[in-house]
Amino acid sequence: MKRFLQVFSFLLVLSRLSAAFQYEIVELPREKGGYPAVGGNAYYIRVTEGSGSLYIMDKINTVWDTNNELLNTVVNVADSSQYGWIDRQTGLSHQADGSQVIVYSQAMNPYNPVVTQTAYKLGDFQAGDEIGVWVTTLQGETGGTIFNKTNPINSSNLVSREYGKTSDQLGNELARLSFDQTNVFFGFHGVEGEPFSGQPLPGMLASFLLGSSALGAISRRKKRACS
């Protein structure tokens, strides 16, 4: 029983390591011409491994003073119906989860204000998912990081978009959505999800039992070889 628990713990660690959450930002070729094209480059997030949560986070334009380009200055991020994600496969737009995490909170010295960077959750995703991001500005302008203006999420007010051309003061690469009246900047943040919780699934338990038997056999063979 002790051996089984040891092997179970070992395989559990391996299962977590193998499910590391990884994603990448994919830029699409520039779309030429006028309407319905959007200026700049479309871009989306592709989850390449594991599962977890994806967030958009504040641009920090200074670490010495008050930040005036945070997301809440241009988007009502307290309302999750004002931003969200776009399924690249279906073209459908979805409301954000809306929960928040603090990514950074620090003052450079006792005389400067605390600079806080907040991330806003889009949703939970897994390997193979490809999503864009959409926002509605405080001026009522709506647009996303993918598709042209034939997609209903992209209003006529969306002028251009780009990713990775600039970084904020904390070194985060920035995405941009530019509208007639507003520029919206944000970075991306990912949090790895738990592969499973509670009791393991029957199939997973069977795999652990099989792994226990195999490792036990190897251990026994090694002992016999050394004796």
Distance separating alpha carbons of residues 136 and 117, to the nearest angstrom: 20
pLDDT for 33 equals: 86
Band (pLDDT 50/70/90 cuts) for residue 8 is very low
Distance separating alpha carbons of residues 12 and 6, to the nearest angstrom: 10
Global pTM? 0.78
CA distances from 186 to 46, 126, 133, 142, 167 (A): 17, 22, 10, 15, 10
Q: To which H or E segment does residue 10 belong?
A: helix 2-18
- Condensed to tens digits (0 to 9), the pLDDT of residues 101-117 reads 999 999 999 999 999 99
1 or 128, higher pLDDT: 128
| pLDDT exceeds 60 at position 213 | no
CA angle 28, 90, 58 (to 5 degrees): 55
| pLDDT exceeds 90 at position 7 | no
- Tokens 């390997």 sit on residue: 127
Query: What value does the mean pLDDT take over residues 65-94?
Result: 97
| pLDDT exceeds 80 at position 13 | no
| pLDDT exceeds 70 at position 31 | yes
- How does the average pLDDT of the chain come out, rounded? 83
Q: At a CB cut-off of 8 Å and minimum separation 6, what does 68 contact?
A: 61
| pLDDT exceeds 50 at position 211 | no
pLDDT for 32 equals: 86
CA distances from 6 to 1, 154, 159, 199 (A): 9, 54, 58, 17
pLDDT for 206 equals: 34
pLDDT for 205 equals: 36
Nearest-10 crossing angle of helices 202-226, 2-18: 120
Closest CA relative to residue 169, chosen from 59, 22, 5: 59
